[in-house]
Amino acid sequence: MSLKVSNLSFSYGNKHALDRVTFELSPGFTALLGPNGAGKSTLYALLTRLITTTGAQISVAGHDLQTAPRAALGAMGVVFQQPTLDLDLTVSQNLRYFMALHGLHGRTARDRMDAALTRLDMAERAHEKVRKLNGGHRRRTELARALLHNPQVLLLDEPTVGLDAASREAITAHVHALAAGGMTVLWSTHLTDEVRPEDQLLILHRGALLAQGTAADITQGRPLKDHFLSVTGAEV
């Protein structure tokens, strides 16, 4: 299993954010669907070790996040919900900075950067300052960056927030293609139209997993939006 989470609980004071969450992901696209406040961002903060907790086990590409954090973090690419680009640097400076943080430099770094930017149609913007890019291009840059170190697991926390329909569609399609190529993808969203029937689906509500399986199996032929509304009572 590429990403294994067992018995993950977390509280902010008295408020339970996650309650004994357990799941295993294999290569492919898994959508984590949950309304706002379901605990998705807390789960991502725990998966990326921004925060830790006791009594749980998280394993990334066979590396335990608790006992071998560096190997586990090195095997994952992350696109956070919040933008994490330095606006005053160019696209290529941002990517080079990230690669250096992952110990990559020199020719290898240059080759990977060129390949990543070409793959996402960003090559001609390499020397533009991020501040000048629109939201869609910024997100693409972040996605290109998350792939630079060839991670086995890609975590995206609501990556399409604030994007127009075309950019949203382009990014969703690209990440589905990456998953089809053998990458393990965990894509969190509260938008049901980003999930395809063949995708693996986790529904998170009030910190607990309500369902896991393929989207088609879970919905049993009903539109996902209706199913999601009925189990969470949330506005989609």
**Cα–Cα distance, 203 to 199 (Å, whole number):** 12
In one-letter notation, the amino acid at residue 66 is Q
How many residues bind to another protein according to rule CB under 8 A?
A: 37
51 binds another protein (CB under 8 A): yes
Spatial CA neighbour of 31 closest among 147, 169, 179, 227: 179
Element (H, E) at 171: helix 165-180
Q: What does R_g of the chain's alpha carbons equal in angstroms?
A: 18
Among 52, 118, 134, 230, binds another protein (CB under 8 A): 52
Q: Which of residues 61-80 bind another protein (CB under 8 A)?
A: 69-71, 73-74, 78, 80
Task: Please give the structure tokens belonging to residue 79.
Answer: 């696109």
Q: How far is the CB of 69 from another protein (least distance, A)?
A: 8
Binding flag, residue 111, another protein (CB under 8 A): no
Q: How far apart are CA 76 and CA 136, in angstroms?
A: 22
At 64, phi and psi to the nearest 5? -75, 125
Among 2, 96, 140, 156, binds another protein (CB under 8 A): 96
Among 1, 6, 9, 89, binds another protein (CB under 8 A): 89
Among 26, 67, 100, 217, binds another protein (CB under 8 A): 100
Q: Residue 185, Cα to own-chain centre: how many angstroms?
A: 7
When asked if residue 41 is in the footprint of another protein (CB under 8 A), the reply is yes
Q: Which residues bind to another protein, rule: CB under 8 A?
A: 12, 15, 17, 37, 39, 41-42, 45, 48-52, 69-71, 73-74, 78, 80, 82-86, 88-89, 93, 96-98, 100-105
